[in-house]
């Protein structure tokens, strides 16, 4: 589904990603872990098409197409979803209107008619339940005055509404208490299927107790230095990132 080959990216002339290689098949869950500053969020931003990052080398193929050639909105329309580490507050734009616009623009891109109002409302209710999002939050302005946990839940709610093929969760667990973490993880698990794939970017192992990854990769200094199964995450939690650093520098 997603094939990343020798990906190099920099911001303001400073190289952050220094040759990433990653293969993700449909139906898989991959966790990308790493210490602060290793390039985790940069990888998420590059995949989502953030313009402040410059790809200097390498290629990213998604469902047979060159992902790097697509604008951010066309990536979203092709089924790539990024759950933001810091979701943006947009006063005056209601969640519901925003999602309706997003869904219909995605449908227009695929040559489909706008979604029927009734169908949209049905879906809205169903997905709200999935992430245990209060109906009041759904009708409020996007993220305005939401707590950290509510913002993250709202990201997963949007993900549920847009039903992506590839979901990238960028530090979705940061700032979540254990109850909120369970709700978010539960939502992600319910959305997981054999027809989609998930990339979980996280610093800590805790989220992975709830969303079991098929593969764990360790990113350090802009490169994937170690890949393994779920057990790798447990080892990291116990030993810390230092042993990775030592291995990498040895």
Partner 1 sequence: METAIKTGSVKDKLISEFETSKYFLFGNTKLREKAMESFYKQGIPTRKHEEYKYTHVDSMLKEEFYFSANKNCNDEQIERLKILKDAYVVIIENGVFVEGLSNLQNLPKGLTICSLVDAVKSNSPVFEKHYAQYADVNADPFIALNTAMTKDGVFIHIAKNVIIEKPIHIIHVSTAFENTIINPRNLIVVDENSQAKIIESFEILDSTAKIFSNALTEIVINENDIVDYYKIQDENACLPDRQELGYLLNTTHVIQKKQSVFSIHTFTLSGSLVRNNLTLVLDGEHSESHLNGLYLTAGNQVVDNHTVVDHRKPNCNSNELYKGIINGKSTATFNGKIFVRKDAQKTNAFQSNKNILLGEAGTINTKPQLEIYADDVKCSHGTSTGKLDEDKIVYLRARGLSTESAKKILMYAFASEVVDTIKIEPLRKYIEGKILNHLNN
In the complex with partner 1, the residue whose CB is nearer, 9 or 106, is 106
Residue 151 to residue 133: CA distance in whole angstroms: 10
In the complex with partner 1, the residue whose CB is nearer, 12 or 88, is 88
Least distance in angstroms from the C-beta of 151 to partner 1: 11
Are 31 and 168 in contact by the 8 Å Cβ rule? The answer is no
Least distance in angstroms from the C-beta of 143 to partner 1: 9
Least distance in angstroms from the C-beta of 154 to partner 1: 12
Sign of CA dihedral 64, 68, 69, 71: positive
In the complex with partner 1, the residue whose CB is nearer, 64 or 92, is 92
Q: Which residues contact 127 (CB under 8 A, 6 or more apart)?
A: 157, 160, 161
Burial class (CB in 10 A: 0-12, 13-18, 19+), 38: buried
Question: Around Cβ 125, how many Cβ atoms within 10 Å?
Answer: 12
Q: Is 240 helix (H, G, I), strand (E, B) or coil?
A: coil
Least distance in angstroms from the C-beta of 33 to partner 1: 23
Least distance in angstroms from the C-beta of 80 to partner 1: 9
Least distance in angstroms from the C-beta of 77 to partner 1: 5
In the complex with partner 1, the residue whose CB is nearer, 63 or 235, is 63
In the complex with partner 1, the residue whose CB is nearer, 4 or 80, is 80
> Which helix H or strand E contains 93, and what residues bound it?
strand 90-94
Residue 97 to residue 231: CA distance in whole angstroms: 43
Residue 31 to residue 11: CA distance in whole angstroms: 24
In the complex with partner 1, the residue whose CB is nearer, 88 or 178, is 88
In the complex with partner 1, the residue whose CB is nearer, 90 or 121, is 90
Binding site for partner 1 (CB under 8 A): 48-51, 71-73, 76-77, 82, 84, 87-88, 90-93, 97-99, 101-103, 105-106, 109, 141, 158, 162
Least distance in angstroms from the C-beta of 141 to partner 1: 8
Angle formed by the axes of helices 178-191 and 148-162, nearest 10°: 10
Question: Around Cβ 166, how many Cβ atoms within 10 Å?
Answer: 22
């Amino acid at each position: 589904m997603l094939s990343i080959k020798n990906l190099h990216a920099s911001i303001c002339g400073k190289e952050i990603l220094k040759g990433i290689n990653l293969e993700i098949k449909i139906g898989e869950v991959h966790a990308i872990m790493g210490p602060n500053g290793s390039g985790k969020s940069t990888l998420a931003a590059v995949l989502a098409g953030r313009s402040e990052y410059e790809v200097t080398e390498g290629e990213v193929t998604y469902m047979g197409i060159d992902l790097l050639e697509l604008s951010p909105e066309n990536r979203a329309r092709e089924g790539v979803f990024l759950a933001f580490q810091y979701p943006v507050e947009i006063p005056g734009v209601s969640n519901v209107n925003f999602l309706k616009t997003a869904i219909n623009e995605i449908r227009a891109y695929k040559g489909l008619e706008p979604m029927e109002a009734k169908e949209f409302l049905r879906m809205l209710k169903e997905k709200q339940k999935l992430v245990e999002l209060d109906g009041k939050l759904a009708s409020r302005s996007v993220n305005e005055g939401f707590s950290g946990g509510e913002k993250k839940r709202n990201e997963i709610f949007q993900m549920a509404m847009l039903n992506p093929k590839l979901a990238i969760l960028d530090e979705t667990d940061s700032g979540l208490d254990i109850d909120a973490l369970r709700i978010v993880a539960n939502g992600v698990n319910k959305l997981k299927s054999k027809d989609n794939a998930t990339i979980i970017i996280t610093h800590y192992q805790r989220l992975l107790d709830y969303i079991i990854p098929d593969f764990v990769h360790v990113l350090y200094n802009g490169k994937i230095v170690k890949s393994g199964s779920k057990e790798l995450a447990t080892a990291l939690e116990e030993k810390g990132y230092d042993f990775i650093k030592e291995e990498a520098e040895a």
